[in-house]
Amino acid sequence: MKIFITGGTGNIGQYVTLAVTESGHEAVVLSRDPKKYSGLAKKAKLVKGEITDYNLLKKLVKDCDAVIHIALGWGNEPISMLMNDTAATVNLLEISEKAGVEKFIYTSSTAAMGHMRHNMNETFVNLPIDLYGSTKAASEAYVLGFKKYYGNKKEVTMKRNIIRPGYTYSNPPYPGGSTEPDNRFRNIADAVVNDRPIVLTKYDGTQFISAEEIALVYLKLLESDINEEIYLALGNTWFSWEDIADTMLQYCPESKSRVVLNDLGWSINPFLYSVKKMENDLGLSFDTRPELHEHIKWCLEQAGKKGKKQ
């Protein structure tokens, strides 16, 4: 298949692009700055552009069999978020259908679900708590609701599916590749290297997943005949940030850093997302511990290269 990927040079996107091309598919990748990704350019065609350049999108989507939309448009107010992300998604959705694209995969987020509840799964009502979650939830609704046109009542045949990533981390996917490590990993590593206190919230954590793991979800869904489904894509094990810090300290026994926990009254029993649907439909389940330990070591290496701060 020929695949058009937006955000294919990002944190998740680089791994998705590699997974797609290494499985024998052709990839055309939209990137704001393709010159930064010379290693990836050996695998896919990289094109400079923005997701709001709809004339360019029409040219790039033409003759593609599938579209994987990962790129995020941002805004600090409701209207700018609407125009830069939701409207961009809806335009790409319609452009893809009119071009005869067979499959469309939209990258949402667990933020679309908003308020945390116990045993959250894909059937839960979205209750977003910020603009980011709101734009993701709105885009999901358009992706699933785009079943036909009004007026001529033309049916939409393009298969449309949604992936909701959870907390996704990554190391550089190839020599010279880049990554976007979360500040929390970086800050903990810096504290360990510089013998500073690690200040965390007691019982704060999540179901981490690596970008390399989540890329397999995209690939499985891309190569399936599934239509109009949502998949939560997270690891099957919950880790606290205290666990992350303790692991870093185990790797650096010489560090004088210690964990300081702020008790905000959070429960020892965390809110969890169910990953059963991903496991049942796609045959994927991720115990991310090996990859998480590699990421922890990589963060410590990066902090060590900076040297101790005086």
Break the chain into its structural domains and give their ranges.
2-167+210-233, 169-207+237-267+288-306
Q: What local confidence, expressed as pLDDT, does residue 308 receive? A: 65
Predicted confidence band of residue 310 (pLDDT cuts 50, 70, 90): very low
**CA distances to 45, 72, 161, 179 from 11, in Å:** 18, 11, 20, 6
Q: What is the pLDDT of residues 184-231, one digit of tens each?
A: 999 999 999 999 999 999 999 999 999 999 999 999 999 999 999 999
CATH of 169-207+237-267+288-306, one of 3.30.1360, 3.90.25, 3.30.450, 1.10.150: 3.90.25
Query: Given the DSSP bridges, would you call strands 168-169 and 198-201 parallel, antiparallel or unpaired?
Result: unpaired
Q: What is the pLDDT of residues 85-126, one digit of tens each?
A: 999 999 999 999 999 999 999 999 999 999 999 999 999 999
Residue 35: pLDDT over 90: no
Nearest-angstrom CA–CA distance, 163 and 5: 14
Vertex 246 angle, CA 11 and 308, to 5°: 75
What torsion do the CA atoms of 85, 90, 96, 98 make, to the nearest 10 degrees?
A: -150
pTM for the model stands at 0.94
Q: What is the pLDDT of residues 266-293, one digit of tens each?
A: 999 999 999 999 999 999 999 999 999 9
User: Which residue is associated with the tokens 């004088």?
Assistant: 256
> Considering the domain 2-167+210-233, what is its CATH architecture?
3-Layer(aba) Sandwich (3.40)
Residue 142: pLDDT over 60: yes
Q: CB count, 10 Å around CB of 81?
A: 20
- Residue 66, beta-bridge partner list: 3, 103
Q: What is the pLDDT of residues 228-243, one digit of tens each?
A: 999 999 999 999 999 9
Predicted confidence band of residue 309 (pLDDT cuts 50, 70, 90): low
